[in-house]
Amino acid sequence: MKIAENLHQFTQTLDFMNFTLHQYLLDCEQPMLMSTGTVQQAAAIIPQIKAILGSRPLSWILVSHTESDECGGVHLLHAAWPEAVVVCSELTARELHGFGYTGPIRTVKGGDCIEAADFTLEVVDYPSEVHLQNGCLFYEQQRGILFSADLMLSFGLAEGLTQPAQWQSAVESLPLQSIPDAHHLELMKQRLLALHPQFVAVGHGYCLRLA
């Protein structure tokens, strides 16, 4: 379902947890998917992505960190679009082989940018891998969309739903459970406050539309 301009959200709902797992397709000149979903979810969304893109290929697959909802279906997406390039941290890149992925990878770190005519994708370090090693968040500067993965998540049956929010308080209220180390959490907050998103495409729960 379309959740913002050129942005499609796909959702797997876990009723028993009152929880949603989202993936996003940014439909631009080089279409990009944020999160593959689990194996079952990737199988379900591939035909939906094809229906949206028609004959245009998927160009990029953004992976925040190594986890079944973030990259579990990556091998299925690779089979569907062999040229699509996975964008992820160095550590995640090493782990992707364990998910059966043998396709192209572009490793990135905080501050890197991938640019095209109609998007500018900034990478933000996110200590989401084991032992607080870096994964990635992705910020699309031209549209002001932050793909926040597991940060700013919420419970609730939130498929297709967005809530209004204020950026500074959304960042300042991030709890220690999000990043279980006070120093790393503070650094993350500083990195986020340097951004000015209009829309937060969360991995789980209600998206945020910022005032």
- Positions in the binding site for Fe ion (CB under 5 A): 67, 69, 150, 203
Residue closer to Fe ion by CB (options 28, 72) is 72
Least distance CB 117 / Fe ion (angstroms): 30
Contact of 129 with 92, CB cutoff 8 Å: yes
By beta-carbon proximity to Fe ion, the closer residue of 67 and 140 is: 67
CB of 56 to Fe ion, least distance (A): 27
Least spacing, CB of residue 80 vs Fe ion, in Å: 22
Closest distance of CB 149 from Fe ion, Å: 6
- One-letter amino acid of 97: H
In whole angstroms, how close is the CB of 155 to Fe ion at the nearest point? Answer: 13
Nearer to Fe ion, 30 or 41 (CB): 41
Identify which of residues 30 and 36 has a Cβ nearer to Fe ion in the complex. Answer: 36
Q: How far is the CB of 204 from Fe ion (least distance, A)?
A: 6
Residue 70 in contact with residue 203, Cβ under 8 Å? yes
The DSSP result for the chain, as a single string, is: -EEETTEEEEEEEEGGGTEEEEEEEE-SSS-EEE----HHHHHHHHHHHHHHHTTSPP-EEE--SSSHHHHTTHHHHHHH-TTPEEEE-HHHHHHGGGGT--S-EEE--TT-EEEETTEEEEEEEEEEEGGGEEEEEEEETTTTEEEEETTT---S--TT-EEEE-HHHHHHT--TTTSSSHHHHHHHHHHHHT---SEEEESSS-EEEE-
Instruction: Give the residue with the Cβ less far from Fe ion, 197 or 203.
Output: 203
